[in-house]
Amino acid sequence: MRLLVATQPVDFRKGIDGLCRLCRTRLGENPFSGTVFGFFNRSRKALRLLLYDGQGFWLCHKRLSQGRFRPLEGGENVLRLAAHELQILLWNGDIRGAGCAPF
């Protein structure tokens, strides 16, 4: 399974359709491909994951009660993560030493 995280913030007033549009335009990816797409809001207090499972879309939202998600390194629009890196990210850990790579 591919896991891609956008490095630039996204307006979280966008729903599934708006995030699908961003997958196509900003990330250059097909949102129906089964890839898990991750997006942060401007304040980096929340993370959304978008996934198409063959029948419909899943939209998962995590908002931190304290602190902010750490910035992702790299000048790319999107980073490819491994499953263990996503787990670290969801627990607000630092993935810089975990081997994430620009897409």
Q: What does the pLDDT profile of the chain (103 residues) look like in tens digits?
A: 899 999 899 999 999 999 999 999 999 999 999 999 999 999 999 999 999 999 999 999 999 999 998 887 766 888 898 888 888 888 876 665 555 444 4
Domain that holds residue 15: 3-102
Predicted pLDDT of residue 4: 95
Domain count, the chain: 1
Contact (Cβ atoms closer than 8 angstroms) between residue 6 and residue 22? yes
Predicted pLDDT of residue 77: 84
Predicted pLDDT of residue 103: 43
Q: Which helix (H) or strand (E) holds 85?
A: helix 83-90
